[in-house]
Structure 1
Amino acid sequence: MDRLSFDIAHLVAGGLVLVSFMLLYQDRLFALLNMFALQAVVLALSVGWQAYVQDAPHLYITAAITLAFKAIVIPVALHRIVARLGIHREVETVVATVPTMLAGIALVSLSMVVMLRVTQGADALAREDLAFALSVVLLGLLMMVTRRNAVSQVVGFMSLENGLILAATGAKGMPLVVEISVAFSILIALIVIGIFLFRIRERFDSVDLQALDESRGESR
């Protein structure tokens, strides 16, 4: 693989980590959903470039699935759910933005140190992609534990899954059957999430997890 191909792959995978930080920074639900769509676009570009570099045509299907569902279908559906439920548009946080961003920087540094040491025997592109992928996974987990709103936690979970896709493609691709199953899993998860959020809103008049805990305590 020539130097230019490596640099482009490095740039796009690094961009995915940068967009993950931008997800952590958002304090409005619609902006968060738009940023998740951007993350999906960057992931699709990364997977598409890996398909070209590895000469793996089946990865183009993964890129197309990611672009269609994660960059368009899911963000649009969540936009409509938020508007339909009249959910509070601000993202409720457990920890303030600055400490969260500092924690994110620490997690990315840890990912780089650990993964680059563990994968010393792999080729350079796979090593760096796996390090970036672990960073995206950990930032997705960080979003899930620092956000109280159910919608933002769903976005954090899907961001985590984006990191897993990056890891799978960086490690010389994944079978087509896995890609198709991922697409169906995303669709099923979206349907379940939509039903879940509607039921929560109908029962408790809120999707703030703290409010749900307080309501559960009162019911006892």
Structure 2
Amino acid sequence: MNLQTAAYINSFLAAAVLLTAFGMLVQKRIYSLIHLFAWQGFFLSVSTAIVGYVANRHHLYISSILTLSLKVVLLPYILYVLIVRLKIRKEVEAIVNIPMTMLIGIALVIFSYHLTAPVRELSTLITRSTLAIALATVMIGLLMMITRRHAVTQIIGFLAMENGLFFAATSATYGMPLVVELGVALDILIAAFIFGIFFFHIHTTFDSLDVEQMARLKEGD
């Protein structure tokens, strides 16, 4: 595989990552959100493996396997079990309507390309064209956290934002040191279990995971 072909494939996978980010931003069904998150992790895993092959960075193969096992298999399974145990069936409401959310997301993508333009001009890496998409994915994940009322979807937004940060590290410097990546992966896994316990306690106490309803109960007190 030559550098030009690898760059094209990596750009295609980056576009797929961004597309799944937009899909999660406008999706109301929580099961579909989990599926989109898993697909985003899959595209990120394949992109990391390709960058590792082209750049001859063997630690990126381990990062790719970690991403595949953690964000495509384990975390989606934990989230699925969580929503089944909590009996979450209804569609998730957003604070901002879908068309406005899409416009804000598009504006964030444009801003990301404008912000990373100097870096892309100076960089010689094959991943330089994907840095803007990685930054846009981070901000779209943050936007999802802000505009959703349900606690579980906010956590999915947080995980999507972490995907963007990992993608940005791969795009900017061919990935973080392996020790750091292993530590981050362990932290995310532990956080997933803590969030699950936390959600069970919230659901038991408030009989809902709607953040707005919990705020109203707090104001009533």
TM-score by length of 1: 0.96
1:5-32 deviation per Cα after TM superposition (whole angstroms, max 9, x unaligned): 1111111112111110111121101111
Letter in 1 for 2:220: E
SS of equivalent to 1:93: coil
- Residues of 2 paired with 1:16 and 1:66: CA distance? 14
Displacement of 1:204 after TM fit?
0.3
Q: Which residue of 2 aligns with 1:194?
A: 196
Letter in 1 for 2:130: D
Q: Which residue of 2 aligns with 1:93?
A: 94
Letter in 2 for 1:189: A
Does residue 1:184 correspond to 2:191, yes or no? no
SS of equivalent to 2:122: coil
Displacement of 1:124 after TM fit?
5.4
Displacement of 1:154 after TM fit?
0.2
1:40-73 deviation per Cα after TM superposition (whole angstroms, max 9, x unaligned): 1111111111111111111011111111111111
Q: Which residue of 2 aligns with 1:151?
A: 152
Structure 1 stretches of 4+ moved >4 Å: none
Q: Which residue of 2 aligns with 1:138?
A: 139
Cα contact 1:74–1:190 (8 A) shared by 2: yes
Displacement of 1:87 after TM fit?
2.4
Q: Which residue of 2 aligns with 1:6?
A: 7
Cα contact 2:34–2:79 (8 A) shared by 1: yes
- Residues of 1 paired with 2:50 and 2:127: CA distance? 13
Give aligned pairs, total. Answer: 219
- Residues of 2 paired with 1:124 and 1:133: CA distance? 15
Displacement of 1:88 after TM fit?
4.2
- Residues of 1 paired with 2:107 and 2:200: CA distance? 36
The within-5 A match list for 1:107-122 is 107-122=108-123
SS of equivalent to 1:120: helix
- Residues of 1 paired with 2:69 and 2:3: CA distance? 30
- Residues of 2 paired with 1:191 and 1:158: CA distance? 13
Cα contact 1:10–1:125 (8 A) shared by 2: no
Q: Which residue of 1 aligns with 2:78?
A: 77
Q: Which residue of 2 aligns with 1:58?
A: 59
Q: Which residue of 2 aligns with 1:20?
A: 21
Displacement of 1:118 after TM fit?
4.0
Identity of aligned residues (%): 41
Cα contact 1:40–1:162 (8 A) shared by 2: yes
Q: Which residue of 2 aligns with 1:212?
A: 214
Q: Which residue of 2 aligns with 1:160?
A: 161
| Structure 1 gaps, min length 5 | none
Letter in 2 for 1:208: D
